Amino acid sequence: MRFEFATSARIIFGQGSIREVPALASSLGKTVLLLTGSNPERASALITGLQESGIAVILFQVSEEPTTEIVIEGAGIAGRNRCDLVIGMGGGSVIDAGKAIAALITNRGDLFDYLEIIGKAQLVTNLPAPYIAIPTTAGTGTEVTKNAVIISREHKVKVSMRSEMMLPKVVVVDPELTCSLPPDVTAHTGLDALTQLIEAFVSKKANPLTDSLCREGLRRAAGSLRRAYDEGNNVNARYDMCVASLFSGLALANAGLGAVHGFAAPIGGSFRAPHGLVCARLLPPAMESNMLALKERFPSSPALERYNDIARILTNNNYASSFDAIEWVKDLCSYFRIPTLSSIGMSSDDIPEVVQRAAKASSMKGNPVELTEAELSTILKKALL
């Protein structure tokens, strides 16, 4: 098997590692565009440290999933202030927006020149401005992926700006930053990481290196996600979930994803709902449809045994089989009170359009089996209930 593995140039992981950022930043630029989430006060200590290191700080708040308008606005602010460094401190939305803005600082044209599906999908030709990614949630793993996921409300879809050059120059993962997450955010982001680990593990493009990351990530998520939800200040649980999130990002960036994320792109573009909530509700029916389709059409597929492996890891039972994994995920979603997709405004009338859009999504390419239109529709019907 031939495979490649690409990731960020440097990853710093550990409690208190946020305090290393000002020294790192001082060697990369003089004026930083600092992206934060809905609570900029969380970055106050970082801002002070940057300023004491002689770095001018321009703040830009990303309080929702990044839209084309948000990215264009941020790139404009960075250009007018001659920012030569970008730092994203926040959840996946903040970090994705930062990746796109860092690339637009040094590359000519506008955002739509580089967007897939709805744009020209041009290549990023110049190295982006140096980018430091600091995740404050444990879920997306986007700090180690090469694409920025951006919503186009006009086109009702999530699309990517993608290039290996967009991998952050430095990633700083500090588990302490996740201890203040409320339970619902812990659940949604954690279930996103779990979904990514499962999908990358059964992907057509999985390889021995991503396999090892998925196994370890699944083990940690299975043992710590409920504890992180129940005990927000449990440092050990938060540590494990940060490892699981990071490993999910490393795995998906190199092995791809599957049907759940194929659906999440058009659903996220049309309905306002946390990405992890959408993934969690889709995961059990997508796993079931994949297993049934594989058993019917490709009974010798290695993905079937991988689903058995997933079940054994999640349940900590060496005798568990693939459908036990589905029940385990269902129980977890019930424990976290994950609502159905109908609660976000989606109905059966939306199914045909969502299926058509999902079939074209890049994430579908990694699904272990090509699902029929009827099978895809079944997944959505079950997720609505």
User: Residue 157 belongs to a domain with what CATH number?
Assistant: 3.40.50.1970
The verdict on residue 141 lying in a domain is yes
Strands 31-36 and 56-61, how do they pair?
Answer: parallel
| Residues 271 and 373 placed together within one structural domain of the fold | yes
The verdict on residue 330 lying in a domain is yes
The verdict on residue 2 lying in a domain is no
| Residues 224 and 363 placed together within one structural domain of the fold | yes
The verdict on residue 336 lying in a domain is yes
The verdict on residue 3 lying in a domain is no
Q: Could you give the number of structural domains in the chain?
A: 2
The verdict on residue 5 lying in a domain is no
State the pTM of this model.
Answer: 0.95
| Residues 134 and 155 placed together within one structural domain of the fold | yes
| Residues 194 and 312 placed together within one structural domain of the fold | yes
Give the residue from 177, 203, 237 where a domain finishes.
177
Report CA-CA distances (Å) from 351 to 266, 327, 338. 11, 25, 20
Strand order in the sheet with 10-13: 10-13, 170-173, 131-135, 85-90, 31-36, 56-61
| Residues 169 and 246 placed together within one structural domain of the fold | no
Question: Which of 250, 280, 253, 267 lies closest to 366 in space, CA to CA?
Answer: 253
Angle subtended at Cα 381 by Cα 377 and Cα 385, rounded to the nearest 5 degrees: 170
CA R_g for the chain: 20
| Residues 370 and 251 placed together within one structural domain of the fold | yes
Please give the structure tokens belonging to residue 176.
């302490």
| Residues 172 and 207 placed together within one structural domain of the fold | no
| Residues 160 and 187 placed together within one structural domain of the fold | no
Range 358-361, long-range pairs (CB < 8 A, 24+ positions): 358/259, 358/262, 358/263, 358/265, 358/266, 359/262, 360/117, 361/261, 361/262, 361/263, 361/265, 361/266
Give the residue from 125, 159, 177 where a domain finishes.
177
E-state strands within the chain? 10-13, 31-36, 56-61, 85-90, 131-135, 147-152, 157-162, 170-173
| Residues 196 and 171 placed together within one structural domain of the fold | no
The verdict on residue 209 lying in a domain is yes
DSSP 45-106: HHHHHHHHTT-EEEEEE--SSPBHHHHHHHHHHHHHTT--EEEEEESHHHHHHHHHHHHHHH
The pLDDT, as a whole number, for residue 133 is 98
| Residues 219 and 136 placed together within one structural domain of the fold | no
The domain of 55 spans 10-177
The verdict on residue 335 lying in a domain is yes
The residues near 106 (Cβ < 8 Å, ≥ 6 apart) are: 126, 127, 128, 129
Give the residue from 161, 177, 193 where a domain finishes.
177
| Residues 173 and 187 placed together within one structural domain of the fold | no
The pLDDT, as a whole number, for residue 129 is 98
Contact 256, 172 (CB under 8 A): no
Which CATH number do you get for residue 227?
Answer: 1.20.1090.10
| Residues 200 and 225 placed together within one structural domain of the fold | yes
Cα distance between residue 176 and residue 45, in whole Å? 14
Q: Kindly give the confidence (pLDDT) of every residue in the chain, 385 residues in length, as a single tens digit, with 9 standing for 90 and above.
A: 899 999 999 999 999 999 999 999 999 999 999 999 989 999 999 999 999 999 999 999 999 999 999 999 999 999 999 999 999 999 999 999 999 999 999 999 999 999 999 999 999 999 999 999 999 999 999 999 999 999 998 998 889 999 999 999 999 999 999 999 999 999 999 999 999 999 999 999 999 999 999 999 999 999 999 999 999 999 999 999 999 999 999 999 999 999 999 999 899 989 988 999 999 999 999 999 999 999 999 999 999 999 999 999 999 999 999 999 999 999 999 999 999 999 999 999 999 999 999 998 889 999 999 999 999 999 999 999 9
